[in-house]
Structure 1
């Protein structure tokens, strides 16, 4: 079982205490740096005011980037949508076949 560490981190000048497994400390600290940087970029753009709105916009940015990650030259989100469509098509076709058995 891994040890849980309590870390004090600063995001947008505010301090937070977070817990994480000891072996994940560096990853968590990198995530904090990324979030702090993204939130500062959003605030400096002048288009979003209020820490909560800045945090939401940062989260949306990260979620959007995650869904559009390109790995090996293809868009994972696009392939997920195509797979879901193929599954729905197969399910519909198999539903008709179920009546044969």
Structure 2
């Protein structure tokens, strides 16, 4: 049985639109409409842009800019985080293979109370305050 698209009513700047979407996408469509309506109201209230179509274009540009910034921030993790993730992956692989961690992985040395403390070129991994 083929489902027909659902007609959802949304309101943006006091104007109502009926949009066809899949049933499972209606919440996202409504959230998108609320975001767009909010951005357009902010732009209209600033008084610097006049005309609904110009307000809509400015809102779309602002949202697109936010999306690009978000994609850039998520794409590389940052050099340090990427390096630390690779180091952690290597340590997990070594632990799974049964390699002694202290001999080849300096970050594990600090966790070994019987091992003498030596200065390290890399600090031990501590991701308690990092987000990926």
- Report TM bin, short chain: 0.5 to 0.7
**With structure 1 as the length reference, what TM-score do the two structures score?**
0.67
**With structure 2 as the length reference, what TM-score do the two structures score?**
0.52
Alpha-carbon distance in 2 for matches of 1:61, 1:2: 35
Unaligned runs of 5+ in 1: 76-101
Relative contact order: is structure 1 or structure 2 higher (C-alpha 8 Å, sep ≥ 6)? 1
Unaligned runs of 5+ in 2: 79-132
Could you say which structure has the higher strand fraction? 1
Could you say which structure has the higher helix fraction? 1
Question: What residue is the counterpart of 1:71 in the other structure?
Answer: 74
- The number of aligned residues is 75
Greater Rg over alpha carbons, structure: 2
Flag as ranges the 4+ runs of structure 1 deviating above 6 A. none
Cα displacement (A) at 1:9: 1.0
